[in-house]
Amino acid sequence: AFHEQLRRTEGGEEFIFYDGPPFATGLPHYGHILAGTIKDVVTRHQSMRGRHVMRRFGWDCHGLPVEFEIDKLLGITNRQQVLDLGIGKYNETCRGIVTKYVAEWEAVVTRTGRWIDFKADYKTMDINFMESVWWVFGQLWDKDLVYKGFKVMPYSTGCKTALSNFEAGLDYRTVPDPAVMVSFPVIGDADNAALVAWTTTPWTLPSNLALCVNANLVYAKVKDRSNGTVYIVAESRLGQLPVKAKASGKKQAPSKGSNAEAVQGGLDTESYELLAKIPGSSLVGLKYTPLFDFFLELQDTAFRVIADNYVTDDSGTGVVHCAPAFGEDDHRVCLSAGIIEASGLVVAVDDDGHFIEKISQFKGRHVKEADKDIINAVKDKGRLVSKGSIEHSYPYCWRSGTPLIYRAVPSWFIKVEKIRDQLLECNKETYWVPDYVKEKRFHNWLEGARDWAVSRSRFWGTPLPVWISQDGEEIVVMDSIEKLERLSGVKVNDLHRHHVDDITIPSSRGPEFGVLKRVEDVFDCWFESGSMPYAYIHYPFENRELFEKNFPGNFVAEGLDQTRGWFYTLMVLSTALFGKPAFKNLICNGLVLAEDGKKMSKSKQNYPSPMEVIDEYGADALRLYLVNSPVVRAESLRFKRIGVFGVVKDVFLPWYNAYRFLVQNAKRLEVEGLTAFSPIDQASLRKSSNVLDHWIHSATESLVSFVHQEMDAYRLYTVVFSGYFTWSCFHLTMLCQI
């Protein structure tokens, strides 16, 4: 029936639907069934109205999810093991599991009643798809929207790769972490004072190159009465300094003058004496004694106080220790202060999350495992002011389950900030259900959009089409296979790394300049996802007319989390390429949760199997239960098995019983020769003098009009029971006539 529908509508008005592809390395769950049902309802309706709706199933094939499965399978724990194995063998192993559950997906999707073409599917690992991805990047390069640089990014030491900000937000956990205050003696201070910084990442202390204060805050210099040590912290954070135990058990009354004022700021005057108040601006430029001697060669430019407004007085001490390779703000302020330019960016942690040789005292140690030893080393140096712990929300890798670190990585970037205003304008041209997701969540995300790091130092993905000379002076970007073959003289049948890494290009400057080699990086798989509207039909190499007559696409639908994922990458690339949004209409669904409101978990078995529910109640009942719930307007749904049964009981049984009663009576009357049961003739209804006939006709036309109106507005949640109510009345009326 599906293919016959496609045949009958062929040549008609196109309704372009983009289907965001899943990975076939796992089995479908309720979230997939929900999104698939929404897509199916809309595309079926458009087909019923005579439009040609091409529905090709797609598969995500590249990226971290696949590599992570292979790493577990092969016992790979570091990058060198992949190189020792061989990128070719590794990639072919990845290729082998990409379609692991394709048959199961097709069975489940078909069983849920979704009409979609599996035979004409597309895969992101297909050479045609990959070539279009190259074309997209080539267009961005030509528009001067690409550059290479360093950026501090969420980094998974478990998967040995940087993650997008979207991926970093997928798994936050409330965990305890060490919280320490460390002293940094100011060189040349008359009171031998030390600035005190607070940190929850002791592993970054060996890489400290600066301290940052807020020039607009007031700082206080206080003396520890027990040992004469002098500290400098923000005045409003004085109460955070450690307090010695009182021998008398009585608290000393505040003294008059400046000390009394300090008590109001939280200073324990029995433990500390206020020496002076200092404007933050006067601290800028002070030099201090480094905590470790790993980077003593940088003393001329590093180990000084800088200022920025990102330092606040709502936590810590008002003094922030800066390790420019391990914090986004750290990197930014050290860059603007000239510390990175003068000393170079020192990344003291390797791709596996271990300290490099230069950090001799902790070399080879994983950063999170070294926290305790680093704290002990700080204590041995007499620089530990206090030690404690803090429970806070911290990001974990959504694949490996390991805590993320923030680490500077070299990457190729898309200049998203340059087109930010265009993104906001393109967003205005789209229609969302619900609209508040567009106007608030998505708008705010676009408003704060930053340059997008699109490269990954991995293996199984679409390679960056960038060939560069050894001196870095000559760069060639390939935007087609034909261009690569023409410049290299090599026939290309596959674009994966192990097929193109060894292809070189002669320098256009002459043989004395050697050859150009491809950079090692592959694309972030989100770049492939954002390229989908072009790549799934191999545009611009094929289907030019189809694409150019029907872009932007008519409809997309995915979950709320895709506001920072697929919806975002679609919008960025379409705006950069064409100055248009990629889609006109969008339905954003919420999350399907377990009955107790928690996330559905295979390990906890807190939800029934989708196929079990379908086999018991039918796919239609499950579909109607999902579509008629708040989840189709971006709210959460606590999945209840009894809710699916409720649809059977309240919708399908009354429907079926009314229909059966009508047919049985019509057949009885026909057998008795009293009447002939035939389809209702619209013209006869209009001529009829029976008021019920007119009501039936009116109700039917009203229903059709209402369904068209609401479906055109993509409000699926208003259609289901309105139609049920009207048709129930219709059946009852027919029974009355009999």
Q: Report helix angle 102-111 to 610-617, nearest 10.
A: 30
Fold for the domain defined by 178-339+370-388: Isoleucyl-tRNA Synthetase; domain 2 (3.90.740)
Residue-level pLDDT at 734: 52
C-alpha–C-alpha distance, residues 344 and 327, integer Å: 16
pLDDT per residue as tens digits for the range 459-517: 999 999 999 999 989 999 999 999 999 999 999 999 999 999 999 999 999 999 999 99
Mean pLDDT of 399-410: 87
The predicted pLDDT at position 544 comes to: 96
Query: Among 356-365, 392-401, 676-685, whose mean pLDDT is lowest?
Result: 676-685
pLDDT exceeds 60 at position 631 = yes
Per-domain boundaries in the chain: 2-142+525-589, 178-339+370-388, 466-518, 641-737
What pLDDT is recorded for position 517?
97
Q: Where are the alpha helices (DSSP H) in 249-327?
A: 258-264
Least confident segment among 174-188, 261-275, 645-659: 261-275
What's the pLDDT at 260? 40
Rounded Cα distance between 232 and 183, Å, is 9
Q: Which helix (H) or strand (E) holds 195?
A: strand 194-199
Using alpha carbons, list the distances in angstroms from residue 255 to 234, 243, 265, 421: 21, 18, 14, 57
Handedness of CA 171, 174, 177, 179 (dihedral sign): positive
CATH superfamily assigned to domain 2-142+525-589: HUPs (3.40.50.620)
For 289, the 3-state DSSP assignment is coil
Indicate the pLDDT class of residue 723, thresholds 50, 70 and 90: low
C-alpha distances (whole Å) from 270 to each of 183, 236, 255, 576 are 21, 18, 10, 62
Closest by alpha carbon to 157, among 77, 75, 72?
Answer: 77
Distance of CA 445 to the CA centre of its chain: 11
- Determine phi and psi for 64, rounding to 5 degrees: -55, -45
Distance CA 429, CA 427 (A): 5
Candidate from 49-58, 146-155, 230-239 with smallest mean pLDDT: 146-155
pLDDT value at position 264?
Answer: 43
For residues 554-572, average pLDDT: 94
pLDDT at 703 over 90: no
Active-site residue numbers?
21, 60, 526, 562, 566, 599, 602
pLDDT digit string (tens) for 21-40? 888 888 888 989 999 999 99
In this prediction, residue 695 carries a pLDDT of 83
Q: What is the percentage of the chain residues whose pLDDT exceeds 90?
A: 65
Please tell me the predicted confidence (pLDDT) of residue 251.
42
Least confident of 35-44, 166-175, 542-551, 680-689: 680-689
Q: Does 192 have pLDDT greater than 50?
A: yes
* Residue 144 CB burial class (10 angstroms; 0-12, 13-18, ≥19): exposed
Q: Is 424 exposed, middle or buried (0-12, 13-18, 19+ CB in 10 A)?
A: middle
pLDDT of residue 728: 58
221, two tokens: 């210099």
Q: Measured between alpha carbons, how far is 158 from 76 in angstroms, rounded to an integer?
A: 10
Assess whether pLDDT exceeds 80 at residue 672.
Answer: no
Average pLDDT over residues 47-61: 94
**pLDDT exceeding 70 applies to what percent of the chain?**
92
Q: What is the pLDDT of residue 730?
A: 56
pLDDT at 722: 63
What is the pLDDT at residue 60?
93
Q: What is the DSSP string of 635-677?
A: --EE--HHHHHHHIIIIIHHHHHHHHHHHHHHHHHHHTTS---
**Over 80: is that where the pLDDT of 682 sits?**
no
pLDDT tens per residue, range 121-163: 999 999 999 999 999 999 999 999 999 988 888 998 888 888 8
In this prediction the pTM is: 0.83
pLDDT at 206 over 90: yes
Question: Do 503 and 490 touch, CB atoms closer than 8 A?
Answer: yes
What does DSSP assign to residue 221?
Answer: E
Confidence (pLDDT) at 342: 66
Q: State the average pLDDT for the chain.
A: 89
| 3-class secondary structure per residue, 344-373 | CCCCCECCCCEECCCCCCCCCCECHHHHHH
pLDDT at residue 426 is higher than 60: yes
Structure confidence at residue 673 (pLDDT): 62
For the residues 304-310, what does the mean pLDDT come to?
A: 94
List the structure tokens of 358: 């230069």
Q: What angle do CA 404, 530, 76 make, to 5 degrees?
A: 40
In this prediction, residue 724 carries a pLDDT of 59
